Chains A and B, each alone.
Chain A
Amino acid sequence: MPRSTTPLSDPAQWIICEHCDSLYHATPLNKGETAYCLRCAGVLSRGHRMTIEQLLALSIAAGIMFVFANVFPVISISMKGLYNQVTLWGSVEALAQGQITLIALVAGLAIILAPALQIALLFWVLVHAQRDEIAPGFKICMRTLEHLRPWSMLEVCLLGILVAIIKLGGMLDVHPGVGLWAMAMLMVLIVLIAGKDIRRLWDDLGVQPE
């Protein structure tokens, strides 16, 4: 089949599959619709589920939940009259011992720093986007959000807390703390707001290429 090699006129009308480099005409999608690549069956794009205002509201909620999840203990235990509890930070600190401190940095990034930055940056770009403004430092915020995404591991952390509860449950009294419930809600919120969907802001705000 002869293939055209003329340059494209308007970049905004096109969409490229990130998994296989296929080029398609972009079609607007409705809420809940998903476009799949015909060549590799990967997701091309999804219809937006939420408005900017809703995303902003959820990012504020995520901020509050993040504070709760970090201030309150996630698990407390008691054994023969002795009592102890742990916060997220406390568990990261427990890894920071001599030779293995490096892994404490990874864990700290995964369960505290990356989610915190994600929430803060999302709030910053969304609070401006909601007024149809491009936030100062918009480009660097959006780029950082892209690079943070794979390193934010709240889902894994939540499962880890549950496993730890069961693991210790066999030998002592274990009580889930307020932090655990906050963590569970935070995880859901992060999944909703911090996905690839946020790339829509580039188009919604009409950021002009230079």
Chain B
Amino acid sequence: MNGIPFAHERKVTLCHVCGYVCPEDAHDCPRCDSAVHRRKPNSLVRTWAFLIAGLIFYIPANTLPVMFTTLLGSASENTIMSGVIEFAEGGSWDIAILIFIASVLVPCVKFLVLGMLLVTCQRRSQWAMRERSRLYRFIELIGYWSMLDVLVVALVAALVQFRGLSTIEPRLGILFFGLVVVMTMLAAMSFDPRLIWDAEVEDV
């Protein structure tokens, strides 16, 4: 495609830490001493592993309560979705949508996009490479916004501590939800977007 050379054709590799153009046979970057790999090691396998771990944690993250509220003697437990619904019913549509995007949509989009990228890379597909490359950068960008709910629960639980009147405590669900975010972030980091483009040259 349009004759731009790939780095490996000229026997060089990028150092991901400092951006130095390293010789292909270097194990460590000559400039910053970090380990240099032609492609991220075991990229596909590691990404699958983190992705599947994230998917497994996603089940308890949504079914277990994330927050336990007592208000004047009455106790209630909230899951992530029931929190969203509570906002929506209370009339705060904007906040409901915001939390829905950060806590439900973003992780789901990440699962779907990463899964699609993994499958297409394993099939060495040459389909929509530029767009897939863009999609990868997009999910890298939005990934950490899912931590929103974890931080909201932390703040609210720290604030509402009026014994006898009202208290809010975090519950196990928030741990799993946080782990989902960490796992999907690690999955996105272990995926090597250069694999998308390898199909173009290495098949020939």
Contact = CB atoms under 8 A, between A and B. Distances in A.
B151 A111 contact: yes
B137 A107 contact: no
B134 interface: yes
B12 A23 contact: yes
A19 B148 CA distance: 28
Contact of B158 (A39, A94, A202): A94
Interface residues of A, number: 74
Given A40-B130, A107-B154, A156 B4 contact: no
B194 interface: yes
A102 B9 contact: no
A199 B18 contact: yes
A164 B152 contact: yes
A39 B130 CA distance: 7
B11 A202 contact: no
B170 A23 contact: no
B193 A95 contact: no
B94 to A, nearest CB: 9
Contact of A21 (B95, B129, B172, B197): B197
Q: Which bucket holds chain B's interface residue count?
A: 35 or more
A107 B178 contact: yes
Contacts of A102: 175, 178-179
A163 B92 CA distance: 11
Q: Residue among A4, A40, A172 with the most chain B CB within 10 A? A: A40
Contact of B133 (A3, A40, A74, A208): A40
Interface stretch (B27-35, B47-55, B112-120): B27-35
Contacts of A16: 7, 12-14, 19, 21
A115 to B, nearest CB: 13
B197 A20 contact: yes
Interface string B118-144: 000000000001100110110000001
B9 A5 contact: yes
Contacts of A86: 155, 158-159
Interface of B: 1-14, 16-23, 29-34, 71, 87, 90, 92, 95, 98-99, 129-130, 133-134, 136-137, 144-145, 147-148, 150-162, 165-166, 169-172, 174-175, 178-179, 182, 185, 189, 193-194, 196-197
Interface of A: 1, 3-8, 11-12, 14-16, 18-24, 38-42, 74-75, 77, 79-80, 82, 84-86, 90-95, 97, 99-100, 102-104, 106-107, 110-111, 139, 142-143, 146, 150, 153, 156-157, 159-161, 163-164, 166-168, 170-172, 199, 202, 207-210
8 contacts: A16-B19, A39-B197, A40-B197, A77-B159, A84-B159, A86-B155, A103-B150, A103-B174
The 5 closest A-B pairs by CB, nearest first: A160-B151, A209-B30, A94-B158, A16-B14, A11-B21
